[in-house]
């Protein structure tokens, strides 16, 4: 009997010792994170968990799993954790390249003791997402105010936009200017693009100079190319556009010379209407060529941009001048930047009007000078009003209204002023002269 009791006590002691030895140890996974939380195809993903043992634990390991919506483990990683001390924290990580199909997944970390599945000490889960890729687009690459003068400041506007459903981390863009078909390097710049949330854009203004450019486009006839490459985690986008350092004025010079020759022949032959029209166009071509060759067109465009910015600010739309020939003003979604190009500078319109007035046979030189001065002031003022109407419309209705404001409203306003101006400076005085000559019997029938 005594032997049986001793045997039972021994067995209970052994069972207790074995139970204590193989009982699950106490500890907690206090944190489970991934960077990034949204995986893009090709991303380098880093998973990390922090473990806190409540007692000494030996021979343990952490099993990381990525589980799809059907409950199937599609990716896993097992990392050992040898001897731990109570109260100390331990970190285990898993780095991998994301090749998961797009979808939502459960990230699970299981802390186990013993080989294989062993006994579970602690588990932790979190939700992660995989996507096919970011959708970043360079939505604008504009040589502001191009074409440019042979030397002086130039500016490029580059807009990068996140068109995807996930945030694009901070990244960089490189813009490069090359020349000709062989892409001869001219200049470049690399700048940082901040983190962009879905639908967010970032605008960068590259202010540089073409003083160091190796060629003048008006002599070579070859364009420069500016390209922008936006590289971000999981993707990239590229955009190119061409520009000339100077719009080739030699065609206009040749045109002016031909028209002057035609006008001289018409004057000699007494073809007065032909002389008047060809002479006026030749005068305009010569003035335009002079502005382009000397670079004064850029100065005029810059002056107009400054005037518009000042007027808009005075009228309650805070605006800023951006050298060499642009201005910045607010719209409902942020800011808009307008560049004053040659066609918007009113140089062409003023040159045509002066040519028509100076060659008009019915006026003396005093009257021609007076009317030319009036025409310059009114035409320039009408152009400012036209540009301000565009600014007001875009300021109220946003960038989507730009085409309507520029191509329709602005042109209607400007043409209305020009029609009235031509009526008072040319048409009405001409009719008065004709009426006076008819009454005086100076016309034969």
Domains of the chain by start residue, with CATH: 27-131 (2.60.40.2550), 136-243 (2.60.40.10), 295-436 (no CATH)
Beta strand 38-40 with 119-131: parallel, antiparallel or unpaired?
parallel
Radius of gyration in angstroms for the set of CA atoms belonging to the chain, rounded to a whole number: 38
Beta strand 44-53 with 184-193: parallel, antiparallel or unpaired?
unpaired
Predicted pLDDT at 58: 86
Q: Cα separation of 241 and 264, whole Å?
A: 42
CA-wise closest residue to 377 among 421, 426, 327, 427: 421
Reading the block at residue 56, the tokens are 């000494």
Return phi, psi of residue 108, to 5°: -125, 135
Predicted pLDDT at 4: 56
Name 60's bridge partners: 81, 113
CA triple 274-275-276, angle to 5 deg: 90
Per residue of the chain (445 residues), what is the pLDDT tens digit?
555 555 555 555 555 444 444 445 789 999 999 988 778 777 789 999 999 999 998 889 999 999 999 999 999 999 998 888 998 999 999 999 888 888 889 999 999 988 777 789 999 999 998 876 667 999 999 998 777 765 678 899 999 999 887 788 899 999 999 987 788 899 999 999 999 988 899 999 999 888 777 776 655 567 889 999 999 877 889 999 988 775 455 667 777 888 889 989 988 888 888 888 888 888 988 888 888 777 787 788 889 999 999 999 999 999 999 877 788 999 998 888 887 877 788 988 999 999 999 988 888 899 999 999 999 999 999 999 999 999 999 999 988 898 899 889 999 999 999 999 999 998 888 888 778 777 766 554 4
Helix 272-294 / helix 250-268 crossing angle, nearest 10 deg: 160
CA triple 300-304-306, angle to 5 deg: 115
Strands of 163-195, DSSP E: 171-179, 184-193
Helix ranges restricted to H, 144-249: 217-220
Peptide bond into 303 cis (omega under 30): no
- The DSSP 8-state label assigned to residue 405 in this structure reads I
Round to the nearest angstrom and report the end-to-end CA distance of the chain.
Answer: 158
Q: Cα separation of 43 and 409, whole Å?
A: 49
Predicted pLDDT at 250: 63
Return phi, psi of residue 302, to 5°: -65, -40
Helix (H, G, I), strand (E, B) or coil at 241: strand
- pTM recorded for the entire structure: 0.49
């Amino acid at each position: 009997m005594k032997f049986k009791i001793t045997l039972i006590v021994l067995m209970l002691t052994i069972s207790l010792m074995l139970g204590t030895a193989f009982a699950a140890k106490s500890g907690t996974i206090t944190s489970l994170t991934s960077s990034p939380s949204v995986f893009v195809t090709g991303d380098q993903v880093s998973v990390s968990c922090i473990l806190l043992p409540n007692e000494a634990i030996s021979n343990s390991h952490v099993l990381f799993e990525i589980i799809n919506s059907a409950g199937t483990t599609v990716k896993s990683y097992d990392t050992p954790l040898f001897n731990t001390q109570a109260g100390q924290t331990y970190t285990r990580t898993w780095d991998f390249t994301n090749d998961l199909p797009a979808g939502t997944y459960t990230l699970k970390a299981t802390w186990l003791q013993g080989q294989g599945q062993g006994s579970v000490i602690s588990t932790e889960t979190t939700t992660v997402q995989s996507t096919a890729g970011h959708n970043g687009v360079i939505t604008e690459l504009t040589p502001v105010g191009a074409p440019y003068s042979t030397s002086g400041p130039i500016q490029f506007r580059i807009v990068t936009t996140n068109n995807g459903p996930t945030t694009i981390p901070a990244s960089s863009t490189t813009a490069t200017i090359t020349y000709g078909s062989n892409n001869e390097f001219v200049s470049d710049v690399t700048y940082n693009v901040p983190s962009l949330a879905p639908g967010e854009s970032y605008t960068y203004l590259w202010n540089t100079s073409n003083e160091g450019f190796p060629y003048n486009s008006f002599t070579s006839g070859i364009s420069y190319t500016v390209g922008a490459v936006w590289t971000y985690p999981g993707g990239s986008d590229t955009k190119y556009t061409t520009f000339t350092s100077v719009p080739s004025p030699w065609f206009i010079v040749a045109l002016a010379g031909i028209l002057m020759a035609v006008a001289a022949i018409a004057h000699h032959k007494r073809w007065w209407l032909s002389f008047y029209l060809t002479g006026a166009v030749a005068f305009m071509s010569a003035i335009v060529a002079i502005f382009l060759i000397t670079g004064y067109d850029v100065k005029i465009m810059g002056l107009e941009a400054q005037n518009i910015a000042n007027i808009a600010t005075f009228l309650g739309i805070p605006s800023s001048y951006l050298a060499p020939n642009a201005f910045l003003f607010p719209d409902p979604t942020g800011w808009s930047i307008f560049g004053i190009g040659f066609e918007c500078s009113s140089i062409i319109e003023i040159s045509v009007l002066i040519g028509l007035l100076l060659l008009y046979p019915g006026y003396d030189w005093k009257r021609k000078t007076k009317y030319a001065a009036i025409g310059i002031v009114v035409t320039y003022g009408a152009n400012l009003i036209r540009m301000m109407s565009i600014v007001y419309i875009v300021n109220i209705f946003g960038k989507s209204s730009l085409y309507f404001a520029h191509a329709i409203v602005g042109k209607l306003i400007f043409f209305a002023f020009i029609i009235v101006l031509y009526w008072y400076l040319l048409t009405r005085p001409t009719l008065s002269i004709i009426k006076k000559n008819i009454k005086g019997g100076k016309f034969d029938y």
